[in-house]
Every structure is written in structure tokens, then in C-alpha cells.
Structure 1
Amino acid sequence: MRVAADDPLAADVRALLEEHLADMRRISPPESVHALDPAALAAPGVLFLAAREDGGTLLGCGALKRLSDEEGELKSMRTTIAARGRGVASAVLAAVLDAARAQGLGRISLETGTEPFFEPAVRLYLRHGFVPRGPFADYTDDPHSRYLTLVL
């Protein structure tokens, strides 16, 4: 498996991101869906990473959105159904954290949901040292959102 910068507009990535957005819209009320679409992930200030097998098969993705000179936000973490349980999410998260450090960021934060669907992701983040925090950036108190942060 290799994790590297990738194109969020590539056909296989778009399909994975559309699956991600569909799940977010199915689980959370519209005002609580904060996932970025492929075009937003291709914008300046966002580093999009994908995990791929040596043959090029997409396994998962994640992104780092720069919020300031000191803080970044983890966005669009997703693993393909076929690749779940293979360490893809941990590998993508590690690559995002390495990229944040390389950019000189001192903190990375994220927003995720409070529904049971999000529990595996929350366990992953807590295992990697993230801790709860309040809303950040443009987020507000929302019963459907949970906020975590990691000092790098």
C-alpha cells in the first residue's frame, strides 16, 4: 500500500467520495453534514491523499485542509468497503499527520458525527492521540457533531 497526493476528481476517487457523501447525508441532518465534495477537495489549501495498492486500486483517502499557519483540519477520511480492516485508515491518518508536521502546523482538528456509525472512526482518532475539544473554525455547537484535536 502506498499513500500519496492524489486527484480528488479522478473517477475512482469521485465514486468513493460520493459514497461517503451519500452516507453522511443518510445519517446526519443536512445542517450537520460537513463533508467536502471532490471539487472542494481539489481547492487550494487542501492536500488530498489516497491509499492505493501497488497495482493502483484505490483503498482509501483523507485530506488536510489548512485553517491557519498553526492549525489544519482532517477531512474526508474514508476506506473502501473491500479494504476495511487492513490498516488503511491508520496509514492515511499517519500520512496526513506527517503532512501537517511538514507544513509546520502545530495542531490538527476534526469534526465527526455522534451517531453509532462514527464510532469506529472515533476509536481510531482516540487511539492516535486525539482528544475532545469544542467547536473550531466555522463550526458551532451541534448535537450531531463531535470535535477532536491533536497537538503535533
Structure 2
Amino acid sequence: MAISIAIETPLQDDVRGLVERLNAHLLPLSPVEFQFKMTVEQMADSDTTLFVARDESGTAVGMGALKAHGPELGEVKRMYTVPQVRGQRVGRQLLERIVGLARERGLAAVMLETGTGEGMAEAHRLYTRYGFVPRGPFLDYPDSEWSAFFEMQLIAERVA
């Protein structure tokens, strides 16, 4: 299956649909107070860049965003692929675009927070296979059993 990935506005009905599906997927996995969701309106802010993956027919099948926290830190947000395309490297392609944009912008690091438990095993595998390493909480995320944190340092690439 051919997939195209582009920067798009989150303020589209099909992206709203992806966000709804992601939220529904996450809801049973952890308490709501430990789910750090962004709305499409928040994703439309100038500090966030959303990538949308589409299949040959133009259907949105995945998304992922880079949220900038100043000139040094980027955060991966709202990573999701529909179940029908899982295992076809769509998530990896989205992650490549997100990390690539962070490199282009000269960010020192990219970090992310994700859930724990069986429902998140695929996500953890994707991040670690791509080169992210576990770390402790960052920004204002609380340290809890419901969150796993990962980072990828990019600054060594800048000075090498």
C-alpha cells in the first residue's frame, strides 16, 4: 500500500476522526487524569506541526505531531495509526518525518510521553527500535505508573 505523508492542518473532519479514534483507544488504558491529550484546536497552534498519513484513496490512516518547547526541545504528540495499517511501517514513517523536522529545526532533543501496559507495547517497540531511550518525566508530566517517557538526543548530531 502506498502511503503519502504531509504536513496538514488538524482542523479537518478526517483528522478530527483520527483524534476521536485515538482518544477511544486510550480511554480504557489509564485513568483520564494521566492521559495528556491535545485537541485539534491545540494541535493547530503555531508551535505544533502535524503530519498526516494518507492511503492511495486519500483516506487519513495515521498522524503524529511535533510540538516545539522552545529552541531546544521537541515533543512527539498524538501518534496514531488506524488498526488496518498497523504493521505496515506507517508509524515509523510518521516518526521519521517528525524527527527529521526536529533535526531541520536544530532541536537538541525529542522526547515523548506515552502510556504503559499491554495496549501500548507496539508504541514502545516503535520508539525503542527507532532509537528512543527510556528516561524519567520531563516538562510538567507527573511521575506515575501510567506513563512511560522516552527521548532521542539530537545535539550530538549537530556537533559531530
TM-score, normalised to structure 2's length? 0.91
Q: Which amino acid aligns with 1:44?
A: S
2:12 counterpart residue number:
10
Distance in 1, matches of 2:61 and 2:17, equals 12
Equivalent residues, number: 152
Q: Is the 8 A contact 1:24 1:35 kept in 2?
A: no
Alignment gaps of 5+ in structure 2: 155-160
Secondary structure of the structure 2 residue equivalent to 1:62: strand
1:51-66 equivalences in 2 (<5 Å) = 51-66=53-68
Q: Which amino acid aligns with 1:25?
A: L
More divergent stretch after superposition (78-87 vs 128-137): 78-87
Match for residue 37 of structure 1 among 28, 39, 43:
39
Distance in 2, matches of 1:55 and 1:23, equals 24
More divergent stretch after superposition (33-42 vs 118-127): 33-42
Q: Is the 8 A contact 1:64 1:72 kept in 2?
A: yes
Secondary structure of the structure 1 residue equivalent to 2:87: coil
Distance in 2, matches of 1:53 and 1:61, equals 12
1:27-80 per-residue CA deviation (whole Å, 9 max, x = no partner) reads 110110012121111112000111112431212000000012111000000001
1:85 counterpart residue number:
87
Secondary structure of the structure 2 residue equivalent to 1:90: helix
1:126 counterpart residue number:
128
Alignment gaps of 5+ in structure 1: none
Runs of 4+ in 1 over 3 A off after TM superposition: none
2:140 counterpart residue number:
138
Q: Is the 8 A contact 1:60 1:80 kept in 2?
A: yes
Secondary structure of the structure 1 residue equivalent to 2:106: coil
TM-score, normalised to structure 1's length? 0.96
Distance in 1, matches of 2:147 and 2:141, equals 9
Secondary structure of the structure 2 residue equivalent to 1:143: coil
